[in-house]
Amino acid sequence: MYKTITAAVISLSVCVAHAQVEITDAWVRATVQGQKATGAFMNLTAKKATRLVGIKTDAAALAEVHEMTMDKDVMRMRPIPVLDLPAGQTVALKPGGYHVMLMNLKEPLPVDSHVQLTLLFEDAAGVKSQQDLHLMTTTKAPGANGKAGDAHHNH
């Protein structure tokens, strides 16, 4: 009985940890034949201080959070190992700023195809969690055409 209750409490705490980050307006930019990279974009709002520490996908050999900045008239992009998500503040992953880069795509991602991403999080106490996203590809941001991905939690 004790083991069953302990397992249930652990399972519940893991499930609660998944709900700590709200993900909205998620989408992936569609690609054309021969294109080997694209971006994924979304808004992340953590209930408590959390960090995005990794991304997994079967769609590409490599998925990283990148930061795009302007240095004089030159646009620069670089990977960042961790993205801080302050409690209660929305962090936008959008074109021209922070975004997810999907590199060495395994196949083209035409408009209206599906892409699965798993976002890996760690809170201030070191508790790790993940959230699975099932996104639609499009050529425009969700506000422009009404399409967005659904965030599905992996419990």
DSSP, residue by residue, the chain: -HHHHHHHHHHHHHHHHHTTEEEEEEEEE---TT--EEEEEEEEEESS-EEEEEEEESSEEEEEEEEEEEETTEEEEEEES-EEE-BT-EEEE-TTSEEEEEEEESS---TT-EEEEEEEEEETT--EEEEEEEEEEESS-HHHHS--BEEEE--
The count of structural domains within the chain is 1
List pLDDT tens digits, range 26-52.
999 999 999 999 999 999 999 999 999
pLDDT of residue 44: 97
Contact criterion met (CB below 8 Å) for 37 and 102:
yes
Q: What is the CATH number of the domain that holds 85?
A: 2.60.40.1890
115 vs 65: CA distance, rounded Å: 16
- What is this structure's pTM? 0.79
Domain range enclosing 133: 2-153
Identity (one letter) of the amino acid at 69? Answer: T
List pLDDT tens digits, range 80-128.
999 999 999 999 999 989 999 999 999 999 999 999 999 999 999 999 9
pLDDT of residue 118: 97
